[in-house]
Every structure is written in C-alpha cells, then in structure tokens.
Amino acid sequence: APHALACAALLPERVTRTAALVTLAPWGAAGLDWFDGMAASNVRAYSTAASDPDSFTESFIVRSAQIRQNPVRLLDDLRRELTDSDRMVVNDAGIRSMLLRNYSEGLRTSAYGWIDDAIALCSPWGFDPALITGRVLLWHGVKDVFSPVGHSRWLAGQIPGATAVLEPAAAHFDALSVLPGILNWLLDEREHPPERPLPAPAPG
C-alpha cells in the first residue's frame, strides 16, 4: 500500500484514485506510536530492519530458504499470532492454497524482494502523504495485529482526499474479501463517494 501511495503523491497526472489496504504509515510518523498493537514478530523484524539491516538480511535469507523448502512453515509461524478473524480466513482451503502459492512464487529465486520491502517500510518514504491530491480509499480491519489500524487512522488525518473504511470485526487477512469492491471503486468514474465504498467481510 505505501508503494501505491507513493505513486499517488509523485505521479498525480497519472493516478486519480488510490486504494490502500491494511497499510502502514511512514516510519517515524509524528504523533503515531508505530508499534502500538503490532504483533511481536513484526515488532522484532521491523526494529532489526531499521537498526541493523545487514543482520536482518542475513536472518531473512536463512528464513526464506526454510520457507522455500516448506511454504507451510510460514503459515505455521503466522498462525501463532493470528486473531480469531484471521484464523477463520486462513483456515479456508482455497485461501490457504493461494497463500502458499504466493509465498512459493515470492521466494522462488531469492528473499531480496521481501527484504527490500521490509527495509523500505521502516525507512523515510521520500514523499509527504499530505501532498496526495487524488482520491484515496483506506481500508483496515480494526483487529489487525500485523499492520495496526492506527496507521490508517494517521494517514486518514494527513491525506486530504482520503476516505477511511475501518471494519470493527475484521483483521489483516479480511482484506482479501473486499478486493472485488476495491476494484469496483477504483473503476468508478463518479465524483461523489458511495455511502459505503465496500461491503463488510462476510461473517465466519
């Protein structure tokens, strides 16, 4: 999501609408406790990526090799910190199969895409979200522990054209269920926002 926001800020002549799901806010955002509500594993990973990127890189190269051999390992690692809502999503056989395929493809040649993303997310963004002029939809599950909802709340207060949809019963992986609504909103040429841009995630 931060990469999409970067395009919105730096390519305003080409980007008219932007959707950011379960996004993080800029590292060091004023007035935001960046780690508040975040799962311990993510706190450790981002802290190390920010303070010692070489050590972070080495550890993730090892971890990615283990996951490449057995992608289920990453799901097992995540499962320890999943909320009840996320657990219901990940327990779906179709979703689980899709996640495993994505993990395998993402790490097929190396861990460096994952490493670069993590380091970028805890580095200066290089643009001010307040300069985004197009319309922005921020979707976030309030129970998200991987990217806490406070990040979207912070961005909603910074981006002039932002609409925030914060789902009280949803968590991180519930974002998958709203993708069709997100795409419809991005393609909608109407100027006025609908009363509710997206449906709530289906109850488990």
Cβ atoms within 10 A of the Cβ of 116, count? 11
Please tell me whether residues 117 and 129 are part of one structural domain: no
Q: What is the DSSP letter of 82?
A: -
pTM recorded for the entire structure: 0.87
Which pLDDT value is given to residue 104? 87
Q: What is the CATH number of the domain that holds 149?
A: 3.40.50.1820
Please tell me whether residues 14 and 63 are part of one structural domain: no
Tens of pLDDT, residues 9-50:
999 999 999 999 999 999 999 999 999 999 999 999 999 999
Question: Domain containing 70: what range?
Answer: 40-121
* Residue 152 · residue 144 · CB < 8 Å: no
pLDDT range class, residue 152, cuts 50, 70, 90: very high
Give residue for tokens 């594993």: 41
* Residue 55 · residue 15 · CB < 8 Å: no
SS (H, E, C) 7-61: HHHHCCCCCCEEEEECCCCCCCCCCCCCCCCCCHHHHHHHHHHHHCHHHHHHHHH
H or E stretch at 141: strand 135-141
pLDDT range class, residue 192, cuts 50, 70, 90: low
Q: How many domains is the chain built from?
A: 2
Residue 200 lies in a domain: no
Residue 104 lies in a domain: yes
